Structure formats: C-alpha cells, structure tokens
A = this chain, B = another copy of it.
C-alpha cells in the first residue's frame, strides 16, 4: 500500500511526470533532462533523487555523465505512464517535451563542447 501511495505522490508533481514520460522513451543523462525540460539542474537532480530513492528509476554513470532510466518493476507506474502516453494530446506540455526529446543529443553535445 505504501508503494502504491508513493507511486501516486511521485506522479502528483508536474516536473516528475515530465521526467518519467521522457525516461519511458529513452535513457537520458541529467544535462539532457535539464535541456529538454528547460529546468534548473538542482531542481531536476532533486526530483531524480526522489525518484531514485523511491525505487522508480535507476542511474548509471558513463564517462562524465550519469544516465537515468526507468525501473520497470512497478506495474502501476508503468501502466499509468502508458495510459498518459495514449492520451498525450490532452497534455501539451508532455507532447512538447517528447518533440524536444528528438533533439536531446544536441544537449549532451553542448555539454561536451564547453
């Protein structure tokens, strides 16, 4: 029950839904997530930390970047995300994020270019 409640708590924040929808499609590093969302690094990192602590995402370092990806062990979460994606047109912010996701590699290149 605790996990169910936590799943919904996680989903009650716009930034976290945006992160989860992106991660549902692709494993991404923090700077890509910041770039796509247009949100500050501490804000994104803190939400990712919460998602990680609750066991909804996992992370893995690769060179200088830390990549996050969905932990698929939470069926309510996964089902819910799929449910949202099926109706993505009702949520323009999410649809816009996904469009921007197509250019996510740009952001990591930018990071490397600096």
Closest to A9 in B: B12
If A5-B13, A8-B12 are given as contacts, then 20 extra A-B residue pairs at C-beta distance below 8 Å, sorted by A number, are A1-B14, A1-B91, A1-B93, A1-B94, A4-B17, A4-B84, A4-B90, A4-B91, A5-B12, A5-B14, A5-B17, A8-B8, A8-B9, A8-B11, A12-B12, A76-B80, A76-B83, A76-B84, A80-B80, A80-B83
Q: Is A75 an interface residue (CB 8 A)?
A: yes
Return chain B residues, CB-CB under 8 Å to A80. Answer: 76, 80, 83
A residues at B contact (CB < 8 Å): 1, 4-5, 8-9, 11-14, 17, 75-76, 79-80, 83-84, 87, 90-94
The 10 tightest CB contacts between A and B, nearest first, are: A8-B11, A8-B12, A9-B12, A8-B8, A1-B91, A12-B12, A79-B83, A5-B12, A1-B93, A5-B14
Q: How far is the CB of A114 from chain B (nearest CB, A)?
A: 33
